[in-house]
Structure 1
Amino acid sequence: MTITYSCIANGRMVLAELALTGGSYQEAASTVLRLVLLRAEPKTVIQMGSFVYHTLFIDGITYLCASDNALDTVTPSAFLKNVSDTFLRNPLLSEEYFSPSNAVAADFQQVLGKYMVKYNKNQDNSSISTLRSQVTDVKNAMTQNIDKILESEERSNIFPDGTDDLQTAVKESQKTRQILRRIWWKHFKKIIIITVAILLSIIIILLTTNVIPI
């Protein structure tokens, strides 16, 4: 998940904004700001095109950000909370002084940029940790399956159905080995499928988090 755009608005008038990627956010942001004013709800999440717009509405000021993942609402919410806290802590950033032409408003772009980089970096680290955990789980599952197969084969060789007849024992052992080969091949195919699925997931997550540039 990446926060690609953020802004602060007084009503429908954007006071400060910043986009980390190319794209036309202003038209969508204007529509979202209008809907926020109509609804007057503290928080909203609105899908517009390929981006999801999250807003925090406090005392007539709207804090807005756009992300590329509809599933994650926690990160944008934390981002907006940090931005609003910074805004409200500074008396120079009050509604009375804050306007698009004010130098303080221009400087506040740096605040937006700092928090956008911070939360996007946290998401990258979280995604990498998740991938490592998934790879470890697959590795452990593969190891357990192989150990079970080897253990089963070893028991079959030591205890060939308790028969004293050598020829019968050999036949039973060969039959058991054939069954074990089929079981092993079945598990091997499952392991291959799981591994390919995990690799595809890793590639997709790395692409969506811009770890691998598109």
Structure 2
Amino acid sequence: MTITYSCVAHGRAVLAELALTGGSYQEAAAKVLRQVLLKAEPETIIQIGSYVYHTLFIDGITYLCATDNGLDTMAPSAFLKKVEYNKNPRDNNTVSAVKSQVTDVKNIMLRNIDTVLERETETVSILTEGAEDPQATAEEFEKTRKIPKRIWWKCFKIVITTLTILLSIIIILLRTHIIPT
């Protein structure tokens, strides 16, 4: 489960947003914000397309995040609560509180982006390790393919040599009349 999009909104106005992947989150977020304002419930989970939108609605501010998997509801809920609780309760200035929350959301999303990029870098390096020198890989395959042929020829030569020696000994023994005919 990955949080792919998050935003903070006041009413229907999105104050700050961050998307990890390309996509049209804005249209879906607008639909979710309308439903959240109509329901006025503190927490809402709405599925639109292949994404699940989780919201936390407190004091007219909506904290929203989208995930790519609807099985886990604990992580998005904890994420939204952490973003909401990061505001300074002593600060009565709503704009300052929202700015602080936006900064917190931005920092969290940037950390998520860094994590995703690290995973992608690891995956790419694993994939490119085998493809760096295809000529060397092909030559190594050819060598390993030729090994059974070499072993077969070696065994064949040993058998032929042994048969030749035995046949020679038998002929010599027959000629010297050691073996009666």
Pairs within 5 Å for 1:69-108: 69-89=69-89, 91=91, 94-95=93-94, 97=95, 105=99
**Which of 95, 108, 113 is the aligned partner of 1:115?**
108
Structure 1 position 33 matched with structure 2 position 33 = yes
RMSD between superposed Cα atoms in Å = 3.2
CA contact under 8 A between 1:8 and 1:63: conserved in structure 2? yes
Once the two structures are TM-superposed, the CA of residue 21 in structure 1 deviates from its matched residue by: 1.4
Once the two structures are TM-superposed, the CA of residue 87 in structure 1 deviates from its matched residue by: 2.8
**Equivalent position of 2:42 in the other structure:** 42
Once the two structures are TM-superposed, the CA of residue 119 in structure 1 deviates from its matched residue by: 6.5
Deviation above 3 Å: which 4+ runs of structure 1?
107-110, 116-123, 210-213
TM-score (norm 2): 0.57
Deviations 1:32-66 (A, max 9, x none): 00000111111000001111100001111110000
Any unmatched runs of 5+ in structure 2? 125-181
Greater length-normalized contact order (CA 8 Å, ≥ 6 residues apart): 1
CA contact under 8 A between 2:11 and 2:60: conserved in structure 1? yes
Report the number of matched residues: 122
Local SS of the residue matching 1:91:
coil
TM-score (norm 1): 0.49
Counterpart-to-counterpart distance in 2, 1:211 and 1:51 = 26
Once the two structures are TM-superposed, the CA of residue 114 in structure 1 deviates from its matched residue by: 2.5
Pairs within 5 Å for 1:110-149: 110-116=103-109
Once the two structures are TM-superposed, the CA of residue 118 in structure 1 deviates from its matched residue by: 5.2
- Tell me which amino acid in the other structure corresponds to 2:75: T
Larger Rg: 2
Counterpart-to-counterpart distance in 1, 2:57 and 2:16 = 15
